[in-house]
Structures are given as structure tokens and as C-alpha cells.
Amino acid sequence: MSSRNKISVITCTRNSASTIISCIESVRSQSHERIEHIVIDCLSADGTLEIVRRYPEIKLISEKDCGIYDGFNKGIANATGSIVHFLNSDDRYASNKVLEKVDKLFFTRKLSVLFCSTRLTSEINFMANRNFPPIKLNKKNLENYLMPPHPGTFIERSVLEGLGGFNISFNFAGDFELLARLNKTKNTIVGYADFCAVEMLAGGATSSFLKNRLKISRELIKALKNNNYKNSWVKLYLRFFRKFILSYT
């Protein structure tokens, strides 16, 4: 079956030499024919650029930016595909059929957005392995600070452009804030798929999460306030409690 949609895969890097090869090779292995891979690099100094330059098909932009959401916006501005996916530099596609499945679902269901499952993986501790299904994007879940996993989100470029991209005043919750805006748009057809699209590498997430907990809390509250949702510190800390427990189970 021929590929219907061109898919733009956007990867932001900053000193990602230890993981970027796995990320790139998972894109190159896809059975889907119409793919462009855009790497937005923030002046890496660890060999990341040298690795990326081995792949001439990659569209590489390396310059200082204002954080990952600024990098995402640069990727959107340089994308030519009708569907956009943000694949982090330490993530990889779960199989070589992922983008083929995404293309088919966008075509058959006439989708604007598709949310898929993701999987956290660890080569050191198998107990850290767990799946994250795509919970529903709706007002109730957002006001409980819950969202579908961002790495499993595929979205039409026209929808991202209509939203104005990511709000770069956010450092941690820009994806949550974008989905809060997306949830209020009209004529957006949202779909869900239970297959795993992306495997995320475990490592350091818990300590980073705890270290930045207050900053993340403030940004989540800000995201809801900015978009006229109800917010509750009680619900917010219940969310963090659940996440903290999951980190050790």
C-alpha cells in the first residue's frame, strides 16, 4: 500500500550523542515511505552534530533556542508533512510499522489528531517498564491534570499552525498547555489507538521530576488558568502523589 500522508518527525537535541543513533535508526526503519526527519539542535558539544550529519536525508538546524518548546516550534515552521510527530532524542518507535499504521488511521478515520500508547523501557531495571495508554482528552481529565502521553501524539500540521504552536513561556508543561487549547477547538476529529507507538528510555526521570516539582506545579496551574479551566491544588497534588508512587512500583 502506498503512503498517503507525508509525516514530519521532529526531534530536538542537546548533547544527545548517547541516544540519537537509536532514535534516527528507528525513523529510518519505518515502512512508511513519505517521511522527513527534522532535527533541531541546541548547540550540542558532545558529538551529536557529527552523528546527525552522517545522515544526509535529515534536515538539521543547529542554533541557540529558548527551550524545547521553542525547538518544537522551529520544527513545525520547517515541516512540510501534513502530519507532525515529536520524537524525543532518547525515544524510538516501537516497531517499523508505526508510521504506516498512523497514516492509515488518519486516512480511514479522517483524523486531525491521533493519540497512541507509549511504553517506558529500561535495559537495567525491567521493573521500570510500563505502558501508558492514551487517556481521553477532555475537560474533566485536564482539570485533574491528566493528558494523553505527548510522545504518542500525532497531529496535523495545519492544526498546530492554527493553534499558533507551543507557548514558549513554558519550560515543563508546554505540551499540557497546547492540549488544553486543542481541547477547545471546534471541528477537530480526535482518534485513539491502543497500539504502542513509542518506547521511551527510562533513566533519571524520577529525580528530575522531584527536583522540578514546584516549577511543574506552577506551570500546570498557569496552563489551566490561561485557558479558563478550573484548577485545584488538591487535584494537582493528588496527581503528583500518583506519579510519585508509580515511580517506585
pLDDT digits over 6-61, tens only? Answer: 999 999 999 999 999 999 999 999 999 999 999 999 999 999 999 999 999 999 99
Is the pLDDT at 203 greater than 70, yes or no?
Answer: no
Is residue 1 a part of any domain in this protein? no
* Strands in the chain per DSSP E: 7-13, 35-41, 59-62, 83-86, 91-93, 113-121, 130-132, 153-156, 190-201
Burial class (CB in 10 A: 0-12, 13-18, 19+), 181: middle
Q: Which domain holds residue 62?
A: 7-247
Is residue 208 a part of any domain in this protein? yes
pLDDT digits over 55-96, tens only? Answer: 999 999 999 999 999 999 999 999 999 999 999 999 999 999
Q: CATH number of the domain that 158 lies in? A: 3.90.550.10
Vertex 148 angle, CA 146 and 151, to 5°: 130
- The domain tally of the chain equals 1
Is residue 2 a part of any domain in this protein? no
Is the pLDDT at 237 greater than 90, yes or no?
Answer: no
* Percent of the residues in the chain that have a pLDDT greater than 90, as a whole number: 79
